[in-house]
């Protein structure tokens, strides 16, 4: 038992309790909508997991830090943004990689651009969750609009940190 299942289970229990309090067939409607989600995810989620797993083995995490080198300034921020978006993993890999980058000499704006790109683009998460559940059109619109976010965040936080 870890915190994620406790939090999720607790929130679900609260939702069911509120529906019960509201009455008026809300419980049935809730489970019907949940069933709709299950039927949509039943095939897509395993497919997304398999695809993310394969892609993850093709992009080596160890190489990520090496690719970024110690480019400074805008060039470093752009490289960090590009690499962050293609770092295939959860926070348990990306944050240690970011820390390693920082220790290896990458500046804070570059590290922040990397973390932001990873969290905004996270191609692993797009493949496992966003595409299966929300469709390609949503993914394309969101990714295109989000393109400037990581470099701008890196640059802005550099200004804030005075580096």
By CB under 8 A, the residues from 10 to 39 that bind another protein are 11-12, 15-16, 18-19, 22, 26, 29-38
Query: Is residue 61 close enough to count as binding another protein by CB under 8 A?
Result: no
Q: Which is nearer to another protein, 72 or 140 (CB)?
A: 140
Q: Which is nearer to another protein, 40 or 104 (CB)?
A: 40
The values of phi and psi at residue 137, to 5°, are: -65, -45
Query: Is residue 160 close enough to count as binding another protein by CB under 8 A?
Result: yes
Among the residue ranges 67-75, 79-87, 114-122, the one whose residues contact another protein (CB under 8 A): 114-122
Other C-beta atoms within 10 Å of 114: how many?
31
By CB under 8 A, the residues from 91 to 110 that bind another protein are 91, 95-96, 98-99, 102, 108
59 in Cβ contact with 51 (< 8 Å) = no
């Amino acid at each position: 038992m870890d915190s994620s299942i406790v939090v999720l289970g607790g929130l679900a229990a609260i939702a069911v309790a509120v529906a019960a309090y509201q009455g008026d067939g809300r419980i049935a409607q809730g489970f019907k909508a949940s069933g709709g989600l299950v039927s949509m995810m039943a095939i897509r989620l395993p497919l997304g997991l398999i695809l993310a797993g394969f892609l993850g083995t093709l992009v080596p995490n160890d190489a990520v830090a090496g690719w970024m080198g110690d480019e400074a300034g805008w060039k470093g921020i752009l490289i960090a943004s590009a690499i962050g978006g293609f770092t295939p993993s959860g926070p348990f890999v990306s944050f240690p990689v970011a820390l390693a980058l920082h220790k290896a000499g990458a500046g804070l704006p570059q590290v922040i651009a990397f973390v932001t790109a990873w969290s905004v683009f996270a191609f692993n998460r797009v493949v496992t969750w966003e595409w299966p559940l929300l469709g390609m059109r949503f993914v394309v619109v969101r990714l295109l609009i989000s393109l400037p976010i990581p470099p701008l965040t890196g640059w802005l936080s550099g200004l804030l940190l005075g580096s």
